[in-house]
């Protein structure tokens, strides 16, 4: 096909030795007028040229290049859609090209559920012009409306920014489906006939309804509109394919009709373009150059259907979505075309000049440029099902959905592997979801619902937390993932692991996270504990939806904003140590603690497994996923209005943090937390922490033969969870848990002048303040007295733990006895008063003391430690005994009255702890501590046996 010259003024140029006449070969006498030529010697037109009916003043005929013929389309199918005037799907047109130059059309109508063949009579009056809604908007904006022949031609004009429409049925069928005057009321009409006899006749019929319409004859040029072919003529889309721009098309519009139809074809209307034999001022527009090989290849290889290019790859429209094509296979297809396409040289010799790899690469690169689309348009909100698209519309924060037909203009690179069914039976879906407890099941469904339009949910309710799916094998996680995979298809669900984010953060390349750009869900099934996940900056950004860098091979790095939700399967505890606020805003833990097995044993808590959930994709696609989507659509309004309630996952998240940071367990046991105006002196905090280390086996004190003491430190199992071995490390380590605290110096006259403290936190809230006030003057923060003060503070902490199990009257009686008999309690009066105020009216039924109904329970305060070995401990108890106790490092609050023994079945006393519902057996008792074998810790790091205080246990 030749490219069209779009100039309006032709310049006369005489031939020369360097550019002789192409017809006679002589260097003189002949001349060129634009792209027309005149051979003054009267030679026959050269190959590819023909004689026109026009002559110059000497009677010499003008020769013009042969008009290009419309290329034969390869075998292909194309679909075009007509919506009714309310925007609902109505008609689908299917065009089929057989690859030999013949084409056929089929029409389908939408019955509300599926496309049915045919166009019933009752539907015809409802059929508007093509692209009705867009055309009405263009009319309102005062834009010209181009009426063309064929939906593909209208789409070609639309792609360059011009409003174009057509009518159903093609040439000669303008009045077969009703009138269109109302559809085009107020429009500035431009009629664009095809360059053949039926095309011009069709537009003359349309012009009867729009006598004031302007005309566009494309390709422009007088000789193109002479002797029109009976069919198969060029149209405006061919001109666009040759490079015509929007401005060039607008400038080519004629105010009047220039051509009439006669049995000889189209002729020039008298008075419009005049051929004056006495003048050389010819106003003719003619072709200027041959089409280049890339244009020929695109037309031959990619006219069968719609294509897009994205990130250096091609996608082909397959009726439901754009499917990724293999680069290697596509280049091989281009190579076959290059190898079979002959090229005529200047000497009329034919050769296969394109059969070179450079031509293959040039065509491939040109296709990537030609079909490029904006990445932001890919995979829009909603979900692309096999039987249509679920589209989400919003009115304020209220979403609504509808099922719309597939449309190549809506770019999806995936199709879900199921058909949408609003009445799907939820039975099997409920069975699958039973692997989660109801509250966590609700979180899971609402998280999936957010993926339907994540940008809107983030706008309304901020970020959606990433889900840590915790549990060993055979617990339902993998089956759920299979269902979600079917929900969004292969391209909609990806697997970005912790290791992918680690490589992104630590390497110079950004390839590992490129998969996130067009994904809707990232669910990774395998995740190693290679690093602290709260230190992965790219992971934080991805969860929040902040900008990351996308880098692909042979594609320039550019920004991307992930629009997907994240799920990570974990078996071992992940390494998570950051502050509570940072973790709670990004993470939630779903606990998969059920076991599914074939031939399940209910006595072991096992549930009968159904292998179809894992291995039968048809079962998932027909019996599970449709109901899952219905649950998501039902949950979406609640997510938009109220967000997601993660409260049931907080304890599991805390358990992970405790496993990764021993300081969190310490803070929880002593009650260290944020408090406005609170302060804790660093030295005293370290003394308390050191004593806690002693109590829990993190440090042992040995004495050599010379009496010199040495600390033997037993580091936690996680290498990042370092022990605090000196007071100067306190601020740095505790600020990881409490990032808002400050390190300040006390310059007041409270007896702590020059001491440093942490502001913004306190021990035990109000109770902690009493501890600080009661002990502040009595306990110096010096390292030399650290052991003694640490033991006393630890003792006070344990005392408070036991006071909470007494009712108000018992606390009052105890305080009176202690105050009357021992001066020891005097400095602690504020502390005991708080205990009195905070005491419950009745002791809880499962309190660890066996005899809280009388005051015979002994409270023993032991101040002995490795730092003051040999000292006599002062024992204050409720029955007035004072004496010495054995010198060890344990605080015996129970004396010999506790109810526990080896073999006792126990659980934790705190309902907020996960171990409250565990099943443990005491295997060893040592003073006020016991070793407990936990059934639920089987296979976990650290083993099944843990050491606990007796005060933290209850009999079950």
- CATH classification of the domain holding 480: 3.40.50
Q: Per the domain annotation, does 689 fall within a domain?
A: yes
Assign 255 to helix, strand or coil: coil
Above pLDDT 70, what percent of the chain? 76
What's the token pair of residue 553? 């091979």
Give the pLDDT confidence score for residue 619 in this predicted structure. 93
Q: Looking at the structure, do residues 117 and 42 belong to the same domain, yes or no? A: no
What number is the average pLDDT over the span 339-360?
82
Q: Looking at the structure, do residues 476 and 600 belong to the same domain, yes or no? A: yes
Give the pLDDT confidence score for residue 293 in this predicted structure. 85
Above pLDDT 90, what percent of the chain? 28
pLDDT at residue 226 tops 80: no
Give the pLDDT confidence score for residue 581 in this predicted structure. 58
Give the pLDDT confidence score for residue 305 in this predicted structure. 83
Give the pLDDT confidence score for residue 754 in this predicted structure. 53
What's the token pair of residue 96? 């089929």
Measured CA distances, 448 to 143, 397, 467, 517 (Å)? 43, 18, 11, 18
Q: Per the domain annotation, does 36 fall within a domain?
A: yes
Q: Looking at the structure, do residues 577 and 631 belong to the same domain, yes or no? A: yes
Q: Which domain-ending residue is among 899, 924, 945?
A: 899
Q: Looking at the structure, do residues 721 and 764 belong to the same domain, yes or no? A: yes
Q: Per the domain annotation, does 345 fall within a domain?
A: yes
pLDDT tens-place string over residues 187-209? 999 999 988 888 888 888 888 88
Q: Which domain-ending residue is among 332, 356, 373?
A: 373
State how far the Cα of 81 lies from the Cα of 620, in Å rounded to an integer: 31
CA 878 to chain centre: 63
Give the pLDDT confidence score for residue 890 in this predicted structure. 37
Q: Looking at the structure, do residues 879 and 917 belong to the same domain, yes or no? A: no
Give the pLDDT confidence score for residue 877 in this predicted structure. 36
Give the pLDDT confidence score for residue 765 in this predicted structure. 46
Band (pLDDT 50/70/90 cuts) for residue 8 is very low
Give the pLDDT confidence score for residue 750 in this predicted structure. 54
Give the pLDDT confidence score for residue 813 in this predicted structure. 67
What number is the average pLDDT over the span 359-379?
92
State how far the Cα of 474 lies from the Cα of 482, in Å rounded to an integer: 14
Band (pLDDT 50/70/90 cuts) for residue 674 is confident
Band (pLDDT 50/70/90 cuts) for residue 258 is low
Q: Looking at the structure, do residues 247 and 313 belong to the same domain, yes or no? A: no
Residue the block writes with tokens 């069968």: 304
CA dihedral (732, 736, 737, 738) positive or negative: positive
Q: Looking at the structure, do residues 434 and 555 belong to the same domain, yes or no? A: yes
Q: What's the CATH code of the domain at 929?
A: 2.30.30.30
pLDDT at residue 799 tops 80: no
pLDDT at residue 886 tops 60: no
Q: Looking at the structure, do residues 749 and 702 belong to the same domain, yes or no? A: yes
Give the pLDDT confidence score for residue 224 in this predicted structure. 63
Q: Per the domain annotation, does 415 fall within a domain?
A: no
The dihedrals phi and psi of 679, each to the nearest 5 degrees, come to -155, 145
Give the pLDDT confidence score for residue 860 in this predicted structure. 36
Q: Which structural domain range is residue 907 located in? A: 900-956
Q: Looking at the structure, do residues 245 and 310 belong to the same domain, yes or no? A: no
Specify the number of domains making up the chain: 6
CA dihedral (933, 934, 938, 944) positive or negative: negative
Q: Looking at the structure, do residues 881 and 819 belong to the same domain, yes or no? A: yes
Q: Per the domain annotation, does 386 fall within a domain?
A: no
Q: Looking at the structure, do residues 22 and 91 belong to the same domain, yes or no? A: no
What's the token pair of residue 641? 């209005």
State how far the Cα of 567 lies from the Cα of 497, in Å rounded to an integer: 9
State how far the Cα of 511 lies from the Cα of 503, in Å rounded to an integer: 9
Q: Per the domain annotation, does 392 fall within a domain?
A: no
Band (pLDDT 50/70/90 cuts) for residue 307 is very high
What number is the average pLDDT over the span 13-35?
87
Q: Looking at the structure, do residues 744 and 768 belong to the same domain, yes or no? A: yes
Cα-trace Rg, the chain: 42
Measured CA distances, 451 to 394, 563, 633, 672, 943 (Å)? 15, 8, 11, 38, 39
Q: Per the domain annotation, does 665 fall within a domain?
A: yes
Q: Per the domain annotation, does 394 fall within a domain?
A: no
Q: Which residue has the higher pLDDT, 383 or 234?
A: 383
State how far the Cα of 334 lies from the Cα of 361, in Å rounded to an integer: 9
What number is the average pLDDT over the span 360-388?
92
pLDDT at residue 22 tops 70: yes
Beta bridge partners of 713: 699
State how far the Cα of 748 lies from the Cα of 406, in Å rounded to an integer: 75
Q: Which residue has the higher pLDDT, 528 or 579?
A: 528
Assign 401 to helix, strand or coil: strand
Which has the closest alpha carbon to 139: 165, 121, 157, 178? 165
In our burial notation (b when 16+ CB lie closer than 10 A, e otherwise), range 166-201 reads bbbbbbeebeebeebeebbeebbbbbbbbbbbbbbe
What number is the average pLDDT over the span 583-593?
81
Length reported for the chain: 956
State how far the Cα of 158 lies from the Cα of 134, in Å rounded to an integer: 10
Measured CA distances, 650 to 439, 570, 579, 912, 918 (Å)? 12, 17, 13, 9, 17
Band (pLDDT 50/70/90 cuts) for residue 70 is low
What number is the average pLDDT over the span 573-583?
58
Q: Which domain-ending residue is among 854, 872, 899?
A: 899
What number is the average pLDDT over the span 635-639?
95
How confident is the prediction for the chain on average, in pLDDT? 78
pLDDT tens-place string over residues 688-706? 999 998 888 888 888 888 8
Lowest pLDDT segment from 33-47, 394-408, 595-609: 595-609
Q: Which residue has the higher pLDDT, 807 or 281?
A: 807
* Most confident by average pLDDT, 432-436, 879-883, 896-900: 432-436
């Amino acid at each position: 096909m030749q490219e069209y010259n779009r100039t309006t003024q032709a310049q006369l140029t005489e031939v020369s030795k360097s550019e002789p006449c192409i017809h006679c070969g002589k260097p003189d006498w002949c001349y060129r007028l634009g792209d027309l030529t005149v051979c003054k010697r009267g030679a026959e037109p050269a190959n590819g040229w023909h004689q026109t009916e026009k002559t110059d003043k000497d009677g010499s005929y003008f020769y013009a290049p042969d008009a290009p013929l419309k290329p034969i389309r390869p075998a292909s199918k194309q679909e075009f859609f007509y919506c009714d005037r309310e925007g609902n799907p109505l008609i689908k047109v299917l065009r089929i090209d057989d690859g030999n130059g013949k084409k056929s059309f089929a029409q389908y109508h939408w019955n509300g559920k599926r496309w049915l063949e045919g166009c019933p009579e009752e539907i015809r009056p409802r059929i508007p012009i093509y692209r009705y809604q867009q055309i009405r908007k263009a009319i309102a904006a005062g834009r010209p409306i181009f009426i063309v022949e064929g939906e593909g031609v209208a789409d070609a004009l639309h792609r360059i920014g011009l409003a174009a429409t057509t009518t159903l049925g093609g040439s000669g069928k303008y009045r077969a489906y009703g009138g269109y005057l109302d559809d085009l009321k107020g429009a500035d009409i431009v009629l664009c006939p095809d360059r053949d006899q039926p095309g011009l006749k069709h537009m003359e019929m349309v012009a009867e309804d729009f006598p004031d319409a302007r005309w566009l004859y494309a390709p422009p040029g007088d000789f193109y509109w002479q002797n029109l072919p009976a069919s198969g003529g060029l149209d405006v889309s061919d001109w666009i394919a040759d490079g015509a721009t929007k401005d060039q098309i607008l400038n080519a519009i004629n105010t009047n009709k220039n051509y009439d139809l006669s049995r000889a074809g189209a002729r020039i209307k008298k008075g419009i373009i005049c051929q004056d034999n006495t003048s050389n001022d010819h106003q003719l527009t003619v072709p200027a150059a041959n089409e280049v090989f890339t244009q020929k290849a695109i037309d031959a290889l990619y006219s069968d259907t719609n294509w897009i290019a994205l990130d250096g790859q091609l996608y082909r429209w397959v009726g439901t979505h754009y499917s990724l094509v293999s680069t290697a296979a596509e280049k091989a297809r281009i190579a076959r075309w290059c190898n079979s396409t002959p090229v005529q040289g200047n000497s009329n010799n034919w050769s296969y000049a394109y059969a070179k790899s450079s031509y293959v690469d040039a065509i491939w690169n040109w296709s990537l440029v030609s079909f490029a689309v904006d990445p932001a348009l890919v995979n829009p909100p909603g979900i692309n099902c096999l039987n249509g698209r679920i589209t989400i519309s919003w009115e304020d924060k209220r979403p609504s959905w509808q099922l719309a037909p597939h449309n190549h203009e809506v770019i999806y690179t995936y199709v879900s592997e199921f058909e949408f069914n609003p009445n799907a039976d939820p039975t099997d879906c409920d069975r699958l979801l039973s692997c989660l407890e109801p509250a966590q099941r609700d979180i899971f469904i609402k998280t999936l619902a957010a993926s339907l339009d994540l940008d809107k949910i983030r706008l309304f309710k901020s970020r959606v937390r990433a889900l840590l799916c915790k549990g060993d094998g055979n617990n339902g996680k993998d089956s759920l993932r299979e269902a979600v995979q079917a929900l969004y298809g292969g391209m909609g669900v990806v697997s970005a692991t912790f290791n992918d984010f680690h490589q992104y953060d630590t390497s110079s390349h950004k390839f590992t996270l490129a998969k996130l750009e067009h994904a809707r869900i990232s669910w990774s099934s395998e995740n190693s504990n290679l690093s602290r996940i709260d230190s992965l900056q790219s992971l934080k950004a991805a969860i929040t939806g902040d900008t990351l860098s996308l880098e692909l091979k042979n594609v320039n790095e550019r920004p991307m904003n992930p629009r997907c939700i994240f799920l990570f399967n974990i078996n071992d505890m992940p390494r998570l140590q950051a502050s509570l606020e940072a973790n709670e805003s990004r993470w939630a833990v779903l606990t998969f603690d059920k076991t599914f097995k074939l031939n399940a044993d209910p006595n072991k808590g096992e549930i009968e497994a159904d292998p179809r959930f894992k291995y039968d994709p048809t079962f998932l696609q027909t019996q599970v996923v449709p109901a899952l989507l219905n649950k998501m659509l039902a949950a979406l309004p609640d997510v938009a209005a109220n967000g997601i309630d993660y409260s049931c996952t907080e304890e599991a998240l805390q358990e992970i943090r405790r496993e990764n940071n021993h300081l969190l367990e310490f803070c929880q046991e002593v009650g260290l937390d944020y408090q406005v105006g609170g302060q804790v002196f660093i030295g005293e905090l370290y003394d308390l922490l050191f004593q806690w280390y002693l109590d829990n086996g993190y440090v042992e004190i040995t004495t050599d033969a010379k009496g010199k003491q040495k600390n033997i430190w037993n580091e936690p199992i996680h290498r990042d969870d370092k022990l605090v071995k000196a007071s100067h490390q306190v601020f740095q380590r505790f600020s990881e848990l409490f990032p808002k605290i400050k390190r300040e110096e006390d310059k007041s006259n409270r007896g702590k002048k020059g001491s440093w403290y942490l502001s913004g936190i306190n021990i035990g809230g109000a109770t902690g303040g009493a501890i600080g006030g009661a002990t502040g003057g009595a306990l110096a923060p010096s390292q030399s007295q650290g052991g003694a003060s640490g033991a006393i503070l630890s003792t006070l902490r344990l005392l408070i733990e036991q006071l909470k199990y007494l009712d108000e009257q018992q606390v009052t009686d105890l305080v009176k006895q202690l105050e009357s008999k021992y001066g020891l309690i005097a400095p602690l009066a504020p502390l005991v008063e708080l205990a009195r105020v905070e005491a419950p009216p009745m002791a809880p039924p499962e309190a660890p003391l066996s005899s809280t109904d009388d005051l015979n329970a002994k409270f023993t305060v032991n101040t002995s430690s490795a730092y003051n070995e040999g000292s006599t401990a002062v024992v204050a108890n409720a029955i007035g005994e004072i004496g010495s106790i054995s010198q060890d490092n344990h605080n015996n609050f129970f004396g010999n009255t506790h109810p526990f023994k080896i073999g006792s079945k126990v659980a934790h006393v705190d309902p907020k702890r996960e171990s409250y519902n565990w099943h443990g057996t005491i295997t060893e008792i040592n003073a006020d501590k016991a070793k407990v074998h936990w059934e639920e810790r089987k296979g976990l790091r650290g083993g099944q046996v843990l050491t606990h205080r007796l005060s933290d246990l209850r009999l079950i």
